[in-house]
Structure 1
Amino acid sequence: MKVVVFSDSHGNVRNMEEVVRRDRPDLVLHLGDVNPDAQALQRQFPELPMDWVCGNCDGRRPDLQTEKVLLIQGHRVLMMHGHTREVKFGVEQAVWAAREARAEVLLFGHTHVPVCTYENGLWLLNPGTIRGGWQGASYGVISAEGKNLVCYTLRYE
C-alpha cells in the first residue's frame, strides 16, 4: 500500500493534484493547513480514500480532529498537524503522544521542514510543505506491505 502524505498546502492544490496523478497512491493523508485544499483534492479524486486533521490555520473546527490514529496495513499511525504539541520547539511532546497511542508512525507538519527518521521503533515523518517555500515543496510517502513499513520524503519538482 502506498500512502502519500501532504501538509501545509496553503492554497496550492495543483501540486497535490500532480503528485496524485504521478504517484498513484492508495491513500492520501493531509496534516492540516489548509483543510479546504484537502477537500478540493477529494473532489478531484472522489474514488481515492483520503483523511485529514486540522492545523493552526484551519480555525477551530468541531467537525475535525487535531490528532487521529489510523491503521494502515495493521500499523498504527498517529497523524497530527503538530501545533498543539509545539513541534516548532522540538518533537518530544509529539513523540510522547505517539508512544501513548502505541503508534509505529508519527506524522506531523507545521514546521514546513521535511524530516524522516526512525528512532527506537518509531518512524517520525514530517512531509514539509507541498506549497513550497525557502526549502522547496515536498511531501511524504509511507510504503506498507504486511509487516514491512518504510517512510520517506520526496521533493516536489
Structure 2
Amino acid sequence: MHKYLVVSDTHGKDDNFYDVLDLEEPLDGIIHCGDFEGSEGRYALAANCPVYFVAGNNDFFSELNRELEFTFDGHKAFLTHGHNYMVSMDLDYIRSEGIARGVEVVFFGHTHKPVAKTMGGIYLFNPGSLSYPRQEGRKPSYIVLTTDDSGIINYEIKYL
C-alpha cells in the first residue's frame, strides 16, 4: 500500500501542516495544491518523501509551476490550484480539463472547502484548507489517499 498526503491553502500558517505530517508519516508523497505564501521550501525539506507542489493565486513570488502533471502508482494526475478553472462556481470546467489532459485524477484547492469524489470517471480531490477552512464547522482539513497493490485508489477527508 502507498500513502499520500494531500493539502492546500496553508497560507504561511505552518503549524497545522507539521502536525498533520507527524500524524500521517510515513508517506510515499505529499501533494500541495498551492497558496503556501512562502513555506514551500520548508515543507519540501520537512518531507521524507517525494513532493508535488504548485503555486496558488497568493504565491506571488514563488518559482513553482502553476500546473503539474505527474504519475503516482500508475495513475496519471493533474495538479493545479484551481482558480483558473472556476472551481468556486462548479467543478465542470476542471473536470473537462482533466478529460482533455487524459488524466484519471485532478488535485486542486482554492475554495478552502474539501471535496473528494468521482465525476464522469475522473477523481476530483480538493483537500480544503489547513489554515482557513470555509466549510460548515470550519475545521482544518486534508486528504489521505492510499493505493493498494492492485492500484485501487482509496481516500479519506480528515480534520484536525
TM-score > 0.5 by shorter chain: yes
Map residues 1-150 of structure 1 onto 2, 5 A cutoff.
1-24=2-25, 25-34=27-36, 36-45=38-47, 47-59=48-60, 61=62, 63-134=63-134, 135-145=138-148, 146-150=150-154
Q: Structure 1: how far apart are the matches of 2:43 and 2:65?
A: 19
SS at structure 1 position matched to 2:97: helix
Q: Structure 2: how far apart are the matches of 1:14 and 1:5?
A: 16
Per-residue Cα deviation, 1:111-144 (whole angstroms, up to 9, x for no partner): 0001111222211111000114352200012211
Q: Structure 2: how far apart are the matches of 1:76 and 1:149?
A: 12
Per-residue Cα deviation, 1:71-97 (whole angstroms, up to 9, x for no partner): 010001111100111211111211111
Q: Structure 1: how far apart are the matches of 2:154 and 2:104?
A: 11
CA contact (8 A) 2:108 2:126 kept: yes
Of Structure 1 and Structure 2, the greater helix share is in 1
Segments of 5+ residues of structure 2 without an aligned counterpart are: none
CA contact (8 A) 2:95 2:119 kept: no
Amino acid aligned to 2:32: H
SS at structure 1 position matched to 2:94: helix
Q: Could you tell me the percent identity over the aligned residues? A: 27
Segments of 5+ residues of structure 1 without an aligned counterpart are: none
> So what's the TM-score if we normalise by structure 2?
0.88
> So what's the TM-score if we normalise by structure 1?
0.90
